[in-house]
């Protein structure tokens, strides 16, 4: 199994960091977790794309995690040569989101149907709304969902991917919580969104300090990894984006709470899982 960070950024636009998105390569195909801004550009660089995603999993419906849903929905349809519904797994509310996305794209759908004689079907999706339990089980690959805590954003999910004795957890936005601890137990890799609460407090702007209360800090994520006996912790969705030369500060904060490997994500970073 292989983890590719397609986007390591946050809601704050950054020229070097696409929006939050993680690609997990499994024996059943490419599984995409969240789809922030620029995800298909990064997927193209990783040799993947909308038509290749075996399924899209949404941790929650915050705008920065779904910005490019419309791009995936459109490109999967427009670049396929037969009906190819987009499978989507997410929290309650995901079906409403997909229906609204399709409605928003209605003019474009009409233009393309009118122009391309060989495109004789509409784009479509198959949606599974989940709260807990196995949400994908195919070819020896199992994805399990559990509730996380990003209140007042409700509901939110974390996911664990198991494939041939290897395991990856994608946390999404959350504070430490029981559901995430359950997913992390014995995992090889934990991909966790984090904020530097110390830096946000120094900046002092309420709009930024507000985010501290419903995201994990670097030490929070490290303690979650330590409790679960995780081998590798990947810090992503970095708020604020690390200034050049400060990367070691992030790693040191995690290392103070966790003695496994720590990776500070960059776009297109690859984590190979081998036992």
Catalytic residues: 64
Radius of gyration of the chain (CA): 18
- 10 Å CB burial of residue 181 (0-12, 13-18, 19+) is middle
Longest dimension (CA), the chain: 61
Taking the C-alpha atoms of residue 181 and residue 105, their distance in angstroms, rounded to an integer, is 39
Two structure tokens written together for 118: 């060989």
Please name which of 99, 80, 78, 79 lies closest in space to residue 88, comparing C-alpha atoms.
99
Cα separation values, 173 from 52, 219, 245, Å: 26, 15, 26
Please give the angle made by the CA atoms of 174, 175 and 180, to the nearest 5 degrees.
70
């Amino acid at each position: 199994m292989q983890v590719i960070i397609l986007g390591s950024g946050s809601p704050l636009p950054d020229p070097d960091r696409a929006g939050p998105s993680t690609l997990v390569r499994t024996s059943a195909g490419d599984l995409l977790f969240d789809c922030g801004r620029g995800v298909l550009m990064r997927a193209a660089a990783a040799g993947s794309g909308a038509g290749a995603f075996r399924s899209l999993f949404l941790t929650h419906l915050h705008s920065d995690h779904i910005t490019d849903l419309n791009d995936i929905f459109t490109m999967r349809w427009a670049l396929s040569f037969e009906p190819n519904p987009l499978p989507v797994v997410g929290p309650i509310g995901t079906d409403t989101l997909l229906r609204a996305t399709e409605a928003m794209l209605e003019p474009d759908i009409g233009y393309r149907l009118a122009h391309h004689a060989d495109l004789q079907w509409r784009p479509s999706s198959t949606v599974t709304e989940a709260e807990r339990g196995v949400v994908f089980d195919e070819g020896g690959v199992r994805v399990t969902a559990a509730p996380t805590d990003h209140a007042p954003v409700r509901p939110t999910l974390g996911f664990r991917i198991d494939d041939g004795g290897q395991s990856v957890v994608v946390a999404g936005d959350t504070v430490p919580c029981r559901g995430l601890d359950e997913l992390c137990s014995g995992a090889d890799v934990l991909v966790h969104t984090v904020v530097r609460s110390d830096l946000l407090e120094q900046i002092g702007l309420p709009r930024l300090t507000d985010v501290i209360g419903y995201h994990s800090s670097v030490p929070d994520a490290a303690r979650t990894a330590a409790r679960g006996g995780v081998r590798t912790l990947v810090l992503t969705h970095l708020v604020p984006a690390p200034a050049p030369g400060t990367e070691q500060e992030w790693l040191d904060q995690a290392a103070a709470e966790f003695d496994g490997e720590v990776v500070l994500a960059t776009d297109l970073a690859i984590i190979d899982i081998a036992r």
